[in-house]
Amino acid sequence: MTSVGFGVAAVAVALVVWWRVPWLRSWPPALGLLIATFTVVPPHQIIVLGVGADDALFVLGLGMLLPYALRSRVGVGSAAGRLPYVWPLAIGAGLLVAGTTISAFVNADGLPDTAALLLRGPIRLLLYVVMVVVIVAQLPRERTRTVVARGLAAVGTFEAAFGVLAYTIGLPGGFGLQAAQGNTSLVGEIPGRVTGTLGLSPNFLGALLVLSIPVTLGIALDAATRWHTYVRSLLSRLLGRTATTVNTGAGGWGQLGWALAVVVQTWALVLTYTRSSLAVTLLACAVLVALRGRLRWLAVGAVVLVALLFLTPTFDRIIHDRTDRLALYTSAVRVFLDYPIAGVGPGEQARFTAAAPELYRATPYGVAGNNAHNTVLLAAAENGVLGLLGALVLNLALVAVAVAVIRRARAMSRSANSLRTEPLAIGVAMLAFLLQGMANNLFTVTLTASALVMLLGGCALPWLDRTADEDVAGAGSLASRDLAKMAGNPET
């Protein structure tokens, strides 16, 4: 199967990267983090009981990380228990697990169907919770943040490059594209909408890029700052003044590489023709650049975006194509009102409404041809009132975490008189993803949900742990030195 082949290739690439980069090889948990981050690469193809190669990669990464978490000096329970917002997150996840469990047993027909619904619902959710806790327990936290952030940026860039290649050159069988269909101005105008290797709707690639583009932009802005520091140091030395930094100049290549990664990902995002993802990502990048105070980047980004919009039919789609979201929301509300206790089963709303189109698909706003495309309404329709409450609490808790990450990054920058963009990007990316979740169903498959799980457990929550440095006092300086070499830091 194509999915299995991509899964094996993803593991092989992770192994090669881990082995070839000395600082990664010296820290064994890095391999498990890379494999889990590469979960989005295999196409989403069901192998058995709703489980695909993407799930297998996620479980493999978790299994490789678990021994290091159990041997951690902090301990799994202690690492999770002392983090901020742990109780709201736990309550939201607990309500969702309870709702999906009840829904699975109530709506299943026989033992195999029960097993499939349990795997699709509570077991998948518990897997995400365990992964967050296990990642948080990895030490040193600085290395975890670096591996996960750059891993997500690299995966987003790979998927974007693959999609652009499929769109501009074409691949056998139209792989990497979804044909434009339905009542849209794109029919007959484009080769297809970019999907990357995901094998799903372009909405899912759009959701991945909603996370990866701000993170990549944050890394690029930090690389630009380091490069400017190097140039000032070089000029100072040439003018005979005392230089404060010595460097080989590798940061310039890093800045160029990350900047190009942002452009490629933005290009692919435009080619998904997913309006909500494009709008949310643009807003996120504008906020990030404004927080960073790099308005020149905003001007350059605006020029690139306008060029991409007018070189493709994206602008026509924005102007002329109607959206079906109000119809989808109305359908989900109807399902919830008719089945408020247990819903219609995890992952079952689309199939359920298709069986009774006159009741649930015909709406005053048009035909609802799919599921809710909203994380809260979808949880309500499929899992009842507990699913609704769990999704609400969890989304609000994640918003609180993202805002706290941004606030702490700004507070630390004021105290240190320097601003790191990457932590700001982590918080902004989380907010963008959650906002995108109000217009798409992002948690129904491991491909997209895993990206948020990795960002939450590997970057956001560790950044908020104010005691992390105390736990790694002996390893912190070594980690900083290795990370500086890996990133091409001109100040090292």
As a whole number of angstroms, the distance between CA 436 and CA 213 comes to 14
In the prediction, which pLDDT does 482 show? Answer: 44
Whether pTM exceeds 0.85 = yes
As a whole number of angstroms, the distance between CA 380 and CA 374 comes to 10
Give tens-digit pLDDT for 391-415: 999 999 999 999 999 999 888 877 7
Give the mean pLDDT of 371-396: 95
Instruction: Examine the pLDDT at 489 and tell me if it is beyond 70.
Output: no
**What dihedral angle (degrees, nearest 10) is formed by the CA atoms of 346, 348, 350, 353?**
-120
CA distances (Å), origin 307, targets 177, 184, 302, 304, 423: 22, 22, 9, 5, 29
Give the mean pLDDT of 88-116: 95
Instruction: Examine the pLDDT at 52 and tell me if it is beyond 80.
Output: no
Instruction: Examine the pLDDT at 295 and tell me if it is beyond 90.
Output: no
Give tens-digit pLDDT for 257-277: 898 999 999 999 999 998 889
As a whole number of angstroms, the distance between CA 247 and CA 236 comes to 13
Give the mean pLDDT of 131-138: 93
Q: If you average pLDDT over every residue of the chain, what do you get?
A: 84
Higher pLDDT, 305 or 242: 305
Distance from chain centroid for Cα 20: 26
Q: Which of 44-58, 95-109, 362-376 has the highest mean pLDDT?
A: 95-109
282-285 contacts, C-beta under 8 A, 24 or more apart: 283/432, 284/210, 284/213, 284/214, 284/428, 284/429, 284/431, 284/432, 285/213, 285/214, 285/217
Confidence of residue 466 (pLDDT cuts 50, 70, 90): low
As a whole number of angstroms, the distance between CA 40 and CA 55 comes to 9
Q: List residues bridging with 48 in a β-sheet.
A: 51
In the prediction, which pLDDT does 118 show? Answer: 93
Confidence of residue 483 (pLDDT cuts 50, 70, 90): very low
As a whole number of angstroms, the distance between CA 200 and CA 222 comes to 33
Give the mean pLDDT of 292-310: 71
Confidence of residue 90 (pLDDT cuts 50, 70, 90): very high
In the prediction, which pLDDT does 78 show? Answer: 59
In the prediction, which pLDDT does 299 show? Answer: 73
The DSSP code for 40 is: G
Give tens-digit pLDDT for 106-128: 999 999 899 989 998 999 999 99
Confidence of residue 481 (pLDDT cuts 50, 70, 90): very low
Other residues' Cβ atoms within 10 Å of the Cβ of residue 9: 14
As a whole number of angstroms, the distance between CA 437 and CA 449 comes to 11
The least confident of 71-85, 117-131, 351-365 is 71-85
As a whole number of angstroms, the distance between CA 439 and CA 451 comes to 18
Mention every residue, 6+ apart, whose C-beta is less than 8 A from residue 266.
213, 281, 301, 304, 305, 308
Confidence of residue 490 (pLDDT cuts 50, 70, 90): very low
